[in-house]
Amino acid sequence: MIDRRTMLVSTVATVVAGGTSARAQTQTIKLTASAGHPPGFLWVRVMEEFFIPEVDRRLAAAGKYKIEWTKAWGGTLAKVGQESVAIKDGVSDIGWVGTLFEAARFPLQNVTYYAPFGSTDVALVSKIITDLQNKHPAMADAWNKNNLVYLSGASLDTYQIFTTFPIKTLDDLKGRKISAPGTAANWVKDTGAVAVGGNLNTYFEDIKSGASEGALAFVTGGFPARLHEVTKHVTRINIGAMYAGGIIMNRRRFTGLPPEVQQVLREVGGQYADRFAKLEMETAATFERRMTEAGVTFSDIAPAERKRWADALPDIGRIWAADLESKQRLPARAVLTDYMAALKSAGVDLPRDWGK
């Protein structure tokens, strides 16, 4: 007859063996995440502090899979403008891709940059671009043909102008050198200013050295880039929130993952967009306050001068659309028209309709 002590030992052994078996069944997946910018920039910080931990939390709750992350931020694997190539080629598995700096690969995703002076609502602009990608197959194809899977997108808070000199009217820009990223250089054409190429990683030194006298930037990027240390004036011209890119994954790597892991990545990607939009606006307000405390003067340009600025620019929307349609046969005109229509439908007051 089996005594109670023998039964207890047998039970404990069974529980321990079961626990060991459960742990043995947890599969570890190794992924490398990358970004051209460091975590000081919000889009990378939210990826590091929310997206990755939330994916880990959900997988841990299910108990079947866990991810061992290698984080390569700040251009250690992929420089700004080369993020999608690193992911496409498998150098990185997943990361932030800034479509702003890769306009040649993702031309239609840059529609917001060819329709400036739109909405300052980050969440609205992100939603509109998501809707456009669902409506226009050519936008989704840009990811597919580059061996990429789109998990989430985000827009940057409205662009302002950081300068070493005050601005009250458009005339104050005449002859001034203004740093502008990629397609945003279009925003100073015919204003009297001279565009200087660069990005948030280069603006500080460019302005400090005198290579430029200011930069077009958004507050959540301008503060970590330390622009407030080399410019003492920020003029709120509200060029608008701009779609800038998102979290992207290597397609081959993504499709090779278990379906449960794919689902978690997509679900958390959707949450990332919402979390980012909320934090973007909160952080912009915080950074503006801290810049003011550091001695920066914020001022608002008059609505008439804002319209004057918009009207001074070339017809960049039409030129952009015509170029893409003639050279790449992309439905740029339809995308631009739909973007402007969505802004109007949302009640945005537009100083210029780029879709006409």
The CA distance from 103 to 30, in Å, is 30
Residue 39: what are its φ and ψ, rounded to 5°?
Answer: -65, -10
What pLDDT, on the 0 to 100 scale, is given for residue 173?
Answer: 97
Contact predicate 250/93, CB 8 Å? yes
pTM of this structure = 0.85
**Measuring CA to CA, which residue among 347, 344, 334, 345 is closest to residue 132?**
334
Position 24 scores a pLDDT of: 55
CA–CA distances in Å: residue 27 to residues 7, 228, 278, 294 = 33, 47, 34, 50
- For the chain, helix (H) and strand (E) counts, in that order, are 13, 11
| Nearest residue to 36 via CA among 106, 100, 112 | 100
**How many C-beta atoms surround the C-beta of residue 82 within 10 A?**
19
Domains of the chain: 29-112+122-155+243-285 (3.40.190.170)
In sequence order, which ranges of 154-218 are alpha helices (DSSP H)?
203-209
Residue pair 269/151 in contact by the 8 Å Cβ criterion = yes
| Geometric angle at alpha carbon 108, from 107 and 114, rounded to 5° | 85
How much helix, strand and coil, in percent to the nearest 5, is found in the chain? 50, 20, 30
DSSP labels, 214-245: EEEEEHHHHTTTTGGGT--EEEE-----EEEE
Query: Along the 356 residues of the chain, how does pLDDT read in single tens digits?
Result: 444 444 344 444 444 444 444 445 899 999 999 999 999 888 999 999 999 999 999 999 999 999 999 999 999 999 989 999 999 999 999 999 999 889 899 999 999 999 999 999 999 999 999 999 999 999 999 999 999 999 999 999 999 999 999 999 999 999 999 999 778 889 999 999 999 999 888 999 999 999 999 999 999 989 999 999 999 999 999 999 999 999 999 999 999 999 999 999 999 999 999 999 999 999 999 999 999 999 999 999 999 999 999 999 999 999 999 999 999 999 999 999 999 999 999 999 999 999 88
> Can you give the pLDDT at residue 38?
92
Q: Six-digit token pair at 71?
A: 């984080």
Which secondary structure element, helix H or strand E, spans residue 273, and what is its range? Answer: helix 259-293
**Separation of alpha carbons 173 and 41, rounded Å:** 28
CA pair distance 282, 84, nearest whole angstrom: 29
Residue 59 contacts residue 67 (beta carbons within 8 Å): yes
